[in-house]
Structure 1
């Protein structure tokens, strides 16, 4: 399996596509490769694309990446640069940099390197590397206007967020996009549950290189099958996966050694440090991003709470990084949302943001809304003065027997129960493929799951009016189990009417007639119900509260549709299997620890939605 092919598929961040002449960059830009020396003497490899027209000054747009700023060689040009085609063709100095310890840069890579407040002497972190880089760029690149912007998607989005800490005075505008906020809650874990779908790309983060290199120094394992579900089911306990990753894979060892939210993970979080931010910020995300929903929402809220800078947020009907592509039809899996949505974002939102602060003497000439959010039920953009919007209220729906989802609680207490068998886990998708962090499942049809005996279904009657949910969702479950541990998965679903028309994107074996579109979903590893740092066993058969925060939505459930909630305990192999027997470290669980258990969900369980008030 070719490493470069996988990197391009998984991390298109540096190779996003937009329509253009493939020779445009070479015809209009000069390329320079250099190194910038950091305060501790380490040299970071940096590529500079400067407009050939030197009759005026330009802002600098910088992206710092662990995924390579290739192609290497001053005669080898990218076919596209900058965040989008408009910013490229307007003329900007565009800079890419391999972060410390990656590819052609010197130093030791540290995954999600911890921030050091009040650094002294030659102490370094990603904030100091960014500061030192910007300082060199504005002093050494001809024809720059002294204003710098930073952008990045996914891991480069994390470095963009990091630039807000101890920021250089020249840094005026930053757009973290699909930005990682905390690796324990983004990407590799969700509420303490290990995302098994990420296991395959662990080498990308785990192997350390010893010297600058333009070639990969890691390999992805060849699993010998495209059936992801069967591969991981046959593999058994996580400890059996050691056969693929040895001690030289540093990150795999770290994952196993730190199963709880301990100081190792806490120190690598960035959100808690987002205070007194100076540059203008625009957080960007996709409502159907299977990888990074936690980071953009929580980072935006932290800046909003703790800073007085210009701070805005944009969420569209996208999966991971789709806004950097230019698809004529925007769809996620089977569901179509509209035409040229990314093009509109790039031209009217992203370009406007950077031009406001980099080309207009940092004065806002075109005001963007505080929150520019796409309604994924009505398929239209909405503008709000804040996020979540002011005119919302909390509305609870209770999980009743006979598959009912009601807005009132019942006096008699009953329960629904199911048997959770680790040998026959509920799949997250019907698709048979080996993929890293699958994207389309975020809107997939959930009828296949609803028809399983180990998935509970609760549903409203057909809606007689539109209901718009705009903000976070909180599941307040009351549960019990015959075991001592369990995972709890909650899915919020839009049930389409029986006359819904198919889209060209609809898979051949499906119909949009009565389609169960997943709108939001999340898992909670039950042992972390009270603390992510100190896991607790369940007492068998004892009714216990488990709350699950689902990330925000902006979705209208239209008249004629139904709101559905599904509850289950396995979601495989998106997340790893819980043994359902409490063990100190699930990464060390033995095959004998995995037990079939009976779970109950009581009818005083509820789902609290943030609902937009009627005008």
Structure 2
């Protein structure tokens, strides 16, 4: 009996060990490596420059596959024919069902030859082989792929998130005949309104990643050649406050010691993108040429587009919305669809089930369902299916971030969205009736700017703040608040929001920031899994949308002009689209302020031609006035 028991135990342990090994193997299995062959090659562009390209082709060669192409400035790593990415393609479904997945280092980046140009300008009328842009590089790449990669079915799709999204957009212009589907996702559209600027205000939060785009490279490399600035603190608010004018940051982009007494604030730095930023503070020809929207007026009709964006994308919210709208306006016969979900930047590519942005929880499996039911369906229809306009997808699939549910629309913005106006009243209420004009004043102290978040941290391209609780700001004397009474029925905002301010300042310049807030009921017990310990959903001030306007650009981004001190002046701010229901029992609040630090740089509050060259003496505390003739124009969804 004991022997039998011992044998049984041995067998049991053997089975356990084998079982554990199987589980370990399952966890360590790289699906791409087991099911794909990886090839590294270079593809020669029309001007002779070679671009490094990685091709993952299914080992099963019994059928033909579409090609899915992503062009990126962020590296096709890992390098080496025997080293594989854990996941390839837009999502796991497209990887597992079989597609030829291709990644390419764009011109001048990583292992590719040539010179990098940050958002290289499109050339409309190319006359020689030297007239290259990202559209021509994509064309040449696709042409080579369909002619040289075995077992491809002749159909190509492009996709990318953020900067790769810009390259996906470029692929649709002068598109190769084999390109059948493109999905620009969180795509950059214009650097004066995306990422590094918002309506002329410099996004100081991007300072730390400037070398990523502006450090020169003279030869192909598989290792990083740039170095991020080390600010040596986790308190970025205090760091930038102590640093003072932007010109004092030049030293972080120079090969000199920070305490070098010979360093001049106007000296040229070693970072070509920093130089571009500081030498072109206005929306001049440099930024205008780099913008892609003006070139989306004649997209080839054989290219279907699916534009994807996050409703809480702190980086490229403008790009996604304006890319979709521009394609839609000028290409009436094209297939063009829009997906707008409760995500931060690129969050729809996440494999996590839980969907939260910062403190705010929206639900589970939102990204996973998008990948399976929207993204995969789009590419399969146009690359493997009939490719007609009956894709089974709606024109616009937009999440209601208040009701926490998806909505399908035949147009975006919805046709039944009507304009309604609320005025900023003297008693800090939002009123449907314009009162006799008076003004509310506040002091904008440049020594104590309003923070964009109450968190103490040092991050670049912050994301969490987009859904942060705004009570910390509402309780400051330099933030004006205007609030509705408790809503007696649901109020759904669908589309853009215009803040039409009437303001004055004792200075000659000022920034104007407007935030739209959803105030939750005091007795709210809403479930938010990741809320910070010091917060409760009771009276939570959810930031639904926000935007800044650098005052000197109020009439023109190309030709700035100062304010006349103490003169009432119109400043209009377009806040990007929302789809949010302020539920019965909630309140809608508008916050108005003039600093948002260090998300954006400090406005000197005295007019300067170039803020990157402002001096300490230019910065002055000023008193600002917001008049009761100021109003907010909403797009309200009607049943």
TM range (shorter): over 0.9
2:482 to 448, 451, 458: 458
Counterpart of 1:203?
Answer: 211
- After TM superposition, the structure 1 = structure 2 runs for residues 550-561 of structure 1, keeping only pairs within 5 Å, are 550-561=575-586
Q: Summarize deviations over 1:284-304 as a string: whole Å, max 9, x none.
A: 000000000111111111111
C-alpha deviation, 1:364, in angstroms = 4.6
Cα separation, partners in 2 of 1:196 and 1:22, compared to 1, 3 Å: farther
Q: Indicate the residue corresponding to 1:143 in structure 2.
A: 151
Q: Name the counterpart of 1:342.
A: 367
- Work out the CA distance in 2 between the residues paired with 1:31 and 1:599: 61
CA distance in 2, matches of 1:55, 1:363: 26
Per-residue CA deviations over 1:537-592 (Å, capped at 9, x if unaligned) read 00000000000000000000000000000000000000000000001111111001
Pair 1:427–1:22, CA change in 2 (3 A): farther
Structure 1 residue 417 corresponds to structure 2 residue 424: no
In structure 2, what is the equivalent of residue 302 of structure 1?
Answer: 326
| Distance in 2 separating the partners of 1:363 and 1:453 | 57
Structure 1 segment 227-246 matched on structure 2, within 5 A: 227-246=235-254
Distance (Å, rounded) in 2 between the aligned partners of 1:151 and 1:413:
51
Provide structure 1 residue ranges, at least 5 long, that are not aligned to the other structure: 1-18
Deviation digits for residues 105-161 of structure 1 (CA, Å, limit 9, x no counterpart)? 000000000000121221100000000000000000000000000000000000000
Alignment of 1:600-611 (within 5 A): 600-611=625-636
Q: 1:280 to 1:20 in 2, by over 3 A?
A: farther
Distance, in Å, in 2 between the alignment partners of 1:181 and 1:145 is 31
Q: 1:100: which partner in 2?
A: 107
SS of 1:186's partner is coil
CA distance in 2, matches of 1:175, 1:20: 31
Partners of 1:503 and 1:350 lie apart in 2 by 27
The corresponding residue for 2:191 is 183
1:290 maps to which residue? 314
Q: For each residue in 1:421-440, what CA deviation from the matched residue of structure 2 results, as whole angstroms up to 9, or x when unmatched?
A: 11100000011111011111
1:477 corresponds to 2:501: yes
Q: Distance in 1 between matches of 2:147 and 2:204?
A: 46
Mapped to 2, the partners of 1:267 and 1:87 lie a distance apart of 35
Deviates more, 1:270-279 or 1:23-32: 270-279
State the distance in 1 between where 2:461 and 2:540 align.
Answer: 23
Q: CA deviation at 1:20?
A: 7.9
Q: Deviations over 1:493-513 (max 9, x none)?
A: 000001112522110001110
Indicate if the aligned counterparts of 1:22 and 1:80 stay in contact, CA closer than 8 A.
no
Q: Distance in 2 between matches of 1:485 and 1:590?
A: 15
Distance change in 2, residues 1:486/1:22 (3 Å): farther
Alignment of 1:525-604 (within 5 A): 525-604=550-629
TM-score by length of 1: 0.96
Structure 2 counterpart SS, 1:244 = helix
Pairing of 1:54-453 with structure 2 (within 5 A): 54-122=61-129, 123-246=131-254, 247-278=269-300, 279-307=303-331, 308-364=333-389, 366-410=391-435, 412-453=436-477
Query: Is the 1:356–1:364 Cα contact (8 Å) retained in structure 2?
Result: no
User: Which is worse superposed, 493-502 or 389-398?
Assistant: 493-502
Following superposition, the deviation at residue 373 of structure 1 comes to 0.1
Q: Identify the residue that residue 264 of structure 2 maps to in structure 1.
A: none
1:5 maps to: none
What corresponds to 1:10 in structure 2? none
Number of matched residues?
A: 595
How far did 1:22 drift? 4.3
Taking the aligned partners of 2:29 and 2:571, their CA distance within structure 1 comes to 53
Contact 2:335 2:389 in 1 (8 A): no
Q: Runs ≥4 in structure 1, deviation > 6 angstroms?
A: none
Aligned residue for 1:33, secondary structure, equals strand
Q: Secondary structure at the match of 2:629?
A: coil
Distance in 1 (alpha carbons) for counterparts of 2:488 and 2:509: 40
State the 1:92 CA deviation: 0.1
| Pair 1:490-2:514 in alignment | yes
Residue 276 (structure 1) shift = 2.0
Q: In the alignment, is the contact (CA less than 8 A) between 2:308 and 2:338 conserved in 1?
A: yes
Q: Aligned partners of 2:194, 2:306: CA distance in 1, in Å?
A: 19
SS class of match (2:55): strand
Unaligned runs of 5+ in 2: 1-25, 255-268
Change (3 A) 1:457 1:22: farther
Pick from 487, 504, 512: which aligns with 2:537? Answer: 512
Q: Secondary structure at the match of 1:233?
A: helix
Is contact 1:469-1:609 (8 Å) kept? yes
Paired with 2:630 and 2:88, the residues of 1 have a C-alpha distance of: 50
SS at match of 1:267: helix
Given that 2:134 and 2:171 are in contact with CA atoms closer than 8 Å, whether structure 1 keeps it comes out as yes
Native 8 Å contact 1:425 1:571 kept in 2 = yes
In the alignment, the residues of structure 2 paired with residue 20 and residue 83 of structure 1 have an alpha-carbon distance, to the nearest angstrom, of 21
Q: Equivalent residue of 2:387, what SS?
A: coil
Report deviation, 1:333: 1.1
What is residue 260 of structure 2 aligned with on the other side? none
Which moves more between the two structures, 169-178 or 412-421? 412-421
Paired residue secondary structure (1:265): helix
Output the CA distance in 1 between the equivalents of 2:599 and 2:344.
16
What is the rounded CA distance, in whole Å, between the counterparts of 2:81 and 2:134 in structure 1? Answer: 26
Normalised by the size of structure 2, how large is the TM-score? Answer: 0.92
